Structures are given as C-alpha cells and as structure tokens.
Amino acid sequence: MSAPAAPAPPIPSRPTYGADYYRTYVDTDGGWEAAFASRAFVYRALLRAVRRHLPAPADVVEVGCGAGFMSALLAGLRNRPRVIGGDRSAAALRLARAARASRPNLPYRDRSVDLVVCLDVVEHLEAPEPLFAEARRVLRPGGVLLFSTPNPASLGARLKGARPRATGRPQAERSREWFGHRDDSHVSVHPVARWRAFAEDAGFVRLSDGTDFWWDTPYLRGVPLALQKLAFNGSFHVLFRLFGFVPWGWGENYYGLWRRP
C-alpha cells in the first residue's frame, strides 16, 4: 500500500497594501512629516535630475504614489504643475490626502501628460510591460518617465542574495534578507538590462540611468549595526544629496529617466 501523498504547500496570500503595510515607514497617526523629512533628500535629488531634461512640467502623474511624498514636492515646484497621484491602496491615498499632496484628477488622454513618475512600483507587477506602454501613451512627445526598482546586482543583493527567501515570516525576523527579497510583494525583481529592454520595447529613449548607493544595513556580520549605519547609510545621505543616482551597478536601487520621442 503506497504512502499518502504529502499535502500541497499553502498558496501565499497576495499582499493587501493596507494600513499595516505603510505603517512600516510612516505613522498613520501623525508621523507623516517625520517620515517625509527622512526621505525628502532622495526626492529632491530626483527632481533635480528630472528638471535637467524637463525644466517645467505642467501635468504630472505619479503611479503608486504611496503616502504622497513625491507628489507633495512635485506640486510645490515653482511653476505649480497639476499633479495627480494614484495608488491601489486606500490606506496610502488617505495618507496622501492628509498630507495635502493630492490634486484634482486630470484626464488620462493620449499625449496629455509631461511627466510620469513610478517609484518602487514596477517590482510589484507580475507583468510590467503594460505600465510602460500606458506611460508612453499618456505622455506628450518629449515627455519623461522616471522609475525606480531594486537592483539585483547591488552590494546588498550580492552579500545577502544567497539566503533563502523567508516568505511569510514577520519582517522583524528578516532583517538580514536583501530588501528586494524581504518584501513578499516584490514579484518582478529583474536585472537592469531587463528594465532597459522593457522601456525600449515600449518606445522610450534613455536619457540617463544608474543606481544609488548603500543603505540596506546590516551588510556585515560581527560589525555593530550602529557603525554600519554610520558608514553605509551616512554615506548614502551625503552622496545622494550631491550626485543622485550615478552610472554604476552597485547601488541598491536602479533609477531610470526615459523620454517619449
């Protein structure tokens, strides 16, 4: 008599992107300002990069705006662009509205937008290609797409990537996983060359791209976390303020600026 078949492993549930998801980096009870301040230097550096190629965008769409940090800065530019921020999470949009980052909706007509921003979103999409096609559709000729995503060739991925992915375990127990794998909703973590191909296949022309620096501590066993944060996170703050993303492959996030011809 044959042994009974082993039960099938449970199918992991899809993330809901509710309040608990965003509470990992912003306090829904009033910590928006502190969370914004901790990341504002990143968004300001990205805006400087955008404005080198698109000095005064008039109509902007941020796809996956989260708590609205980038939308808030975009809406505060001197030329006062019209900004619409969208996200699949109702919890995120409540935070964005509370931060006064939302603006009246703009129609998503063909060739109606100057800038599409998509930060830390494409890795959540099982099929990213339609997003690039849609971005090209809504952008005016000469319009710009800015997107970012985890870089699997980064220092952190190289040091931590061999660790098995601990799907379903609490985040507090997963600090030594690379951040690109630590979030179970990251279902499309691809090499930089693949992201370039997605954009090129959609008809975009590359303006500039590259990666940031090292911030996904801890990296080193046996070295106190405080020292690692001082060395890695501290240098990231300084270097990103000065240079933004740079043309090398060791930073934790890939950033790309692409133009619709």
Radius of gyration of the chain (CA): 19
> How do strand 82-86 and strand 139-150 relate by DSSP bridges?
unpaired
Give the three-class secondary structure for 85. strand
Q: Read off the tokens for 17.
A: 């992107």
Q: Which long-range contacts link 76-81 to residues 24+ away (Cβ below 8 Å)?
A: 77/47, 81/56, 81/57, 81/114, 81/115
Sorted by where each starts, the structural domains of the chain and their CATH numbers stand as 21-259 (3.40.50.150)
* pLDDT tens-digit readout, 54-102: 999 989 988 877 666 788 788 888 888 877 766 554 444 444 444 333 3
pTM for this entry: 0.81
More confident residue, 205 or 94: 205
Residue 143 token pair:
């319009």
Q: What is the pLDDT of residues 24-45, one digit of tens each?
A: 555 444 555 666 677 889 999 9
Closest listed residue to residue 40, CA positions, set 74, 10, 81, 78 = 74
- What are phi and psi for residue 159, nearest 5 degrees? -80, -35
Range with the largest mean pLDDT of 100-114, 117-131, 184-198, 199-213: 199-213
